[in-house]
Amino acid sequence: MSTISEAGAAAVPAAPSGAPLVVRTVEIDDPGVPLLRLLPESADPREVLSWVRRGEGLVGWGQAALHHTRGASRFAAAEDWWQRLAGRAVVRDEVGMPGTGPVCFASLPFAADSAEPASLVVPRVLVGHRGDRWWVTTCGVGPAPTPLLQATADPEAPQEVTFADGALSGAEWASRVAEAVNRITAGDLDKVVLARDLHVRAGGRVDPRWVLRQLAERYDTTWVFSVDGMLGATPELLVRRERGLVTSRVLAGTIRRTGDDAKDLTLAASLARSSKDLEEHEYAVRSVAEALAPHCSSTNVPESPFVLHLANVMHLATDVTGVATDSVSSLGLAAALHPSAAVGGTPTDLAVELIADLEGMDRGRYAGPVGWLDASGDGEWGIGLRSGCYQPGSDRDLRIFAGCGIVAGSDPEAEVGEADAKFVPMRDALSGR
């Protein structure tokens, strides 16, 4: 049950029998182990699915349906495919919460002209956990028994892992940052986010479950995700829609942690006062608030950001909230928000053009929306940051990514250091450190 659409021409998958998907959600007792420990070993890392934060969320495995779409209309094509598939499904939902019944995991590319398609996956088995409630959803072309859930064997750490420059070396990328600063200083634009990549090769198979567990243990405030070979730990919630309430967490402005608590508190204070970082943050918050406004009766934008402390860095953060006024789904809201100034720049169109000119690479699904939605349109979408992607046809080759917001006051060498800090989560998880 795999389909593909190009430039918005959505295709609806059909089972060999022509029957719709049969979906059943039942509540279960606490299985006694964390969500990520329930993921079974899979020969294909692209079949491992995750959206987990602080032990709660969703995991899944298998592919009841898989869809790829490309082009400028990729969001609309994805939405159309999902609505048709979910609308035809035979559903028995005994729980009735966001994330129950038919659920689709998805990851979409940053750029409309990316060679990498958007991926939408409906798992054969999904396990959810929220508060004190647990549930299992099965999905297929016919009824399926509720699986017996138990902890799986611990995955092995990757071996003989090496890292190499991707499209640009650190020095080459610094020169591109300097060029961007010159363009900003000249008044061409206000901000641009530039990213770079590293190529990763392991001596053998890289088990995605190892990477996910490492990320979850070290970065428990992030959303640990895996969709069709794209995996990581994003600290940035692009948008959540839940029964009419809309939330978006904006991150922009970063400083590296030292590991010394006293020094880090001083650094956090300096970050909160930094004119360069506050300017960068203001652009990002404004872009989110303006994108949400047409879909919300009211929005709340705090006057000042707070400092979000992660294991490796600290960010300026603002939570923007609103009340939805129309029937737009969480995926529709993600489409309206993408690309925010936090991953593109300001003005958006000029920033995206400059990214294409300077980065020298196809971002693929890096910095694109990643998350899930259910049949009601509720869902959660992060930005695919602190992430990597398995390369086509390989279970041991990946690309990992890091990016930085560039404004008039940016120092190229400092931005290289910031990018290096943002590589740390994936580097450490893949290195088995």
Per-residue pLDDT of the chain (433 residues; tens, 9 = 90+): 445 444 333 333 334 445 799 999 999 999 999 999 999 998 899 999 999 999 999 999 999 999 999 999 999 999 999 999 999 999 999 999 999 999 999 999 999 999 999 999 999 999 999 999 999 999 998 777 788 898 889 999 999 999 999 999 999 999 999 999 999 999 999 999 999 999 999 999 999 999 999 999 999 999 999 999 999 999 889 999 999 899 999 888 889 898 899 999 999 999 999 998 998 899 889 888 999 999 998 889 999 999 998 888 899 999 999 999 888 999 999 999 999 888 999 999 999 999 999 999 999 999 999 999 999 999 999 999 999 999 999 999 999 999 999 999 999 999 999 999 999 999 999 987 6
Residue 342 pLDDT? 84
Query: Residue 325: which of 286, 298, 301, 288 has the closest Cα?
Result: 298
The one catalytic residue in 191, 359, 415, 418 is: 191
Buried b (16+ CB within 10 A) or exposed e, 145-168: eeeebeeeeebebbeebebeebbb
Provide the pLDDT for residue 197. 98
Distance CA 126, CA 233 (A): 20
Rg for the chain (alpha carbons), in Å? Answer: 21
The per-residue pLDDT for 272 is 94
For residue 422, indicate whether it is catalytic. Answer: no
Strands 90-93 and 345-346: unpaired
CA 150 distance to own-chain centroid: 27
* Class of the CATH domain delimited by 2-431: alpha beta
Residue 100 is which amino acid? T
- Whether 290 is catalytic is no
Cis peptide bond upstream of 339, omega within 30: yes
Q: Give the contacts of 200 (CB within 8 A, at least 6 positions apart).
A: 161, 162, 163, 388, 397, 398, 399, 400, 430
> Contact at 8 Å (CB) between 310 and 236?
no
pLDDT of residue 17: 45
- Alpha-carbon gap, residue 407 to 49, rounded angstroms: 36
Query: Residue 93 burial by CB count (10 A; 0-12/13-18/19+): exposed, middle or buried?
Result: middle
pLDDT at 139: 95
- Between CA 234 and CA 255 the distance in angstroms is 16
Give one word for 77, left, alpha or beta, with left for phi > 0 and alpha for psi -120 to 50: alpha
pLDDT at 433: 64
pTM score above 0.85: yes
Catalytic-labelled residue, pool 47, 79, 236, 418 = 236
What does each C-alpha distance from 151 to 80, 107, 139, 192, 276 come to in angstroms? 36, 27, 21, 44, 47
